[in-house]
Amino acid sequence: MAAQGRHGGQESNKMTALVVDDNTVNRMIHHRLLDNLGIENVAVVNGKEAVDIHCSGKTFDLILMDMDMPVMNGIEATRQLREMGIRSMIAGVSTRSMEREIREFIEAGLDDYQEKPLTMSKLISIVHKING
């Protein structure tokens, strides 16, 4: 299912993404990876900002959601976004390796999960899922 990104109410054919990560280095790398694929992207630093940006009316084709963040973590943010009716592709990215923790993250409403560090090939596999 291909989602349409919307900026300020105007339809755009360019894919859009939201990076949600409290780590500065990771945000910069994820931003560059997305740029390289021609995906317009913005970054926020925790789950609450991810929810707030959606409350302001913005939506994205793809959300790259870190798990461990202050204020609101990725599990809670994913849950809230799904409760708000957000149907974007949400890909969890985390360094966690315990199955129980990953399962909790996935059950919160992820469409995909990738172990950090995120690579170009992992990102491409996520994007392919959006394009069907």
Partner 1 sequence: MDRNRLQHQVACMRRSLFDQGYLDEPFIQLEELQDDANPNFVQEIVTLFYTDSARLIQNIEHALNSRPIDFDKLDDYMHQFKGSSSSIGAKKVTNECTVFREYCSAENAEGCIRSFQQVKQEYAILRRKLEVYLQMVRQAAVSRTA
Note the residues at the interface with partner 1 (CB under 8 A). 22-26, 28-29, 32-33, 36, 68, 70, 95, 116-117, 119-120
Min dist CB 118 to partner 1, Å, is 8
Q: How far apart are CA 129 and CA 132, in angstroms?
A: 5
Q: Which is nearer to partner 1, 1 or 25 (CB)?
A: 25
Q: Which residue, 49 or 66, has its beta carbon nearer to partner 1?
A: 66
d(C-alpha 111, C-alpha 35), whole Å:
22
Q: What does the CA dihedral 31, 33, 37, 43 come to, rounded to 10 degrees?
A: -20
Least separation in angstroms between CB 80 and partner 1: 22
Q: Scan for tokens 């740029």, then name that residue.
A: 35
Q: Which is nearer to partner 1, 23 or 59 (CB)?
A: 23
Minimum CB distance to partner 1, residue 85 (Å)? 31
Q: Would you tell me how many other CB atoms lie within 10 Å of the CB of residue 56?
A: 7
